[in-house]
Amino acid sequence: MWTSHVLAIAVALLSGAEALHAGRAQHSRVNVRMGPPPAGLVAVSFNGKAVNVAPGTPLSEAAAKARVRVRYDCKEGKCGMCEVKVNGRAMRTCVSKVPKTGPVTVVVP
């Protein structure tokens, strides 16, 4: 009986991995619940992966801390490859910083 459950889980995981590899998955829908960030830090969520960072931290550094891969090319804000949505606004991670207040939600394509 338990083998059918294990098989069903394996199939679901493989289907998700195939969708991600094929580019069909938009972003992870992981809900991470954290308490309020420590004083002086801002809670930033990258596709559901939450980290606490200091205001003014480069978004690229915060993404790396959250272990979220952001595509780059020029790293000067010119090409637009690193564009993400920060609280619904388009921003380029290579030249943008974490806002002073949070929580901050970042969607990486």
pLDDT tens digit sequence for 31-41: 445 577 778 89
Which CATH number goes with the domain that contains 57? 3.10.20.30
Residues 83 and 38 in one domain: yes
Check if the beta carbon of residue 76 is closer than 8 Å to that of residue 93.
no
Residues 41 and 70 in one domain: yes
Residues 8 and 49 in one domain: no
Residues 2 and 44 in one domain: no
Residues 18 and 50 in one domain: no
Q: Please give the full DSSP string across 27-61, using - where no structure is assigned.
A: ---------PPPTT-EEEEETTEEEEE-TT-BHHH
Structure tokens belonging to residue 12:
């679901």
Q: How much is the pTM?
A: 0.65
pLDDT tens digit sequence for 70-99: 998 898 999 999 999 999 999 999 999 999
pLDDT of residue 14: 59
Q: What is the largest CA-CA distance in the chain?
A: 56
Check if the beta carbon of residue 64 is closer than 8 Å to that of residue 82.
no
Check if the beta carbon of residue 65 is closer than 8 Å to that of residue 41.
no
Per the structure, the complete domain to which residue 13 belongs is given by 1-27
